[in-house]
Amino acid sequence: MTDRQRIAFVTGAASGIGRAICVSLHGKGCRIVLADRQEDRLAVLAGELGADVFPLALDITDGAAVANCLGRLPPEFRDIDILVNNAGHDIGGRTRFDIGSADDWSAIIETNLIGLMRVTRAILPGMIERGVGDVVNMSSISAIRMVPDQAPYSASKAGVHMLSDIIRAELAETPIRVIEILPGLTRTNIVASRHRGDEEAARKYFERFGMALDPEDIARCVLFALDQPPHVQIAQMFVLPTNRG
């Protein structure tokens, strides 16, 4: 990857996996748009990273805000080379389908699938016009492995899985690569939010599975995929924890 001049746009940048990806890309010399709805956490990250970042308060479920997001960027951040569609939501997504709430389903699908589509729609035309670009979609192992009690979340990620395949096929004649990352359980805030902020429940959840990744493990995989020569496209990467180490 010729990082020095590359510009990345990362959603869900303020926390967990997105934050780790931003730290890694910044370390590689990228200029980064840090996009998230958590303005305070964004400001902290921007302060930590220093130069070459632009914090962008953005809720990816807000269609108008997403459509206009490039216009809010300084010119030197607009020619995006790397889009990391990472923002994700899972509150209330872990319950039996028949007792789940339709409001929770909407929030999950609106963020994880429609929001990702909107951001891609806003940024992809510029990549196609300039003939450069990598789109990294943060899917999940839940997209392809059935786990009861997480129907809306898994359905949203299955949507991202298929969408990634279709966009990759549609862009096959262009230099743009579409990279889908499918992480297993990773130690981040989303697990606490699944339990509506109950840290103790989140801790027990991690204990039940016994194994989990760290956000930095996923960031390393993203960098590996981006670092391949242009004729190599890592289409899908499954990343699972082990009991070793």
Q: Taking CB under 6 A as the rule, does residue 241 contact ligand NDP?
A: no
Q: Taking CB under 6 A as the rule, does residue 100 contact ligand NDP?
A: no
Told to judge if 205 belongs to the known catalytic residues of this protein, a careful annotator would answer no
Stretch that binds ligand NDP, among 56-64, 118-126, 203-211, 230-238 (CB under 6 A): 56-64
At residue 215's C-alpha, the angle toward residues 213 and 219, to 5°, is: 115
Contacts of 234 (CB under 8 A, 6+ apart): 177, 179, 224, 225, 228
Q: Taking CB under 6 A as the rule, does residue 137 contact ligand NDP?
A: no
Q: Taking CB under 6 A as the rule, does residue 16 contact ligand NDP?
A: yes
87, 115 in Cβ contact below 8 A? yes
Residue 17 tokens, joined: 């996996």
Alpha helices in 80-138 (DSSP H): 102-109, 116-130
Among 6, 26, 31, 89, binds ligand NDP (CB under 6 A): 89
Q: Taking CB under 6 A as the rule, does residue 66 contact ligand NDP?
A: no
Taking the complex as a whole, how short is the minimal distance between the CB of residue 151 and ligand NDP, in angstroms?
15
- The smaller minimum CB distance to ligand NDP, of residues 67 and 172, is found at 67
- The smaller minimum CB distance to ligand NDP, of residues 63 and 175, is found at 63
Q: What gap in Å lies between CA 13 and CA 16, rounded to an integer? A: 8
Q: Taking CB under 6 A as the rule, does residue 179 contact ligand NDP?
A: no
Q: Taking CB under 6 A as the rule, does residue 164 contact ligand NDP?
A: no
Task: Indicate the burial class of 160 (C-beta count within 10 angstroms; 0-12, 13-18, 19 or more).
Answer: buried
How big is the chain by its Cα radius of gyration, in Å?
17
Residue 41 tokens, joined: 């956490």
Q: Taking CB under 6 A as the rule, does residue 159 contact ligand NDP?
A: no
Enumerate the β-bridge partners of residue 212: none
Q: What gap in Å lies between CA 199 and CA 201, rounded to an integer? A: 5
Instruction: Identify the active-site residue in 153, 160, 234, 241.
Output: 153
Stretch that binds ligand NDP, among 43-51, 58-66, 92-100, 127-135 (CB under 6 A): 58-66
Q: What gap in Å lies between CA 108 and CA 115, rounded to an integer? A: 10
DSSP-derived letter for residue 213 is B
- The smaller minimum CB distance to ligand NDP, of residues 46 and 190, is found at 190
Taking the complex as a whole, how short is the minimal distance between the CB of residue 37 and ligand NDP, in angstroms?
4
**Binding residues for ligand NDP (CB under 6 A):** 11-12, 14-18, 36-38, 58-61, 86-89, 111, 115, 138, 140, 183, 185-186, 188-191, 193, 215
**Catalytic residue positions, numbered:** 153
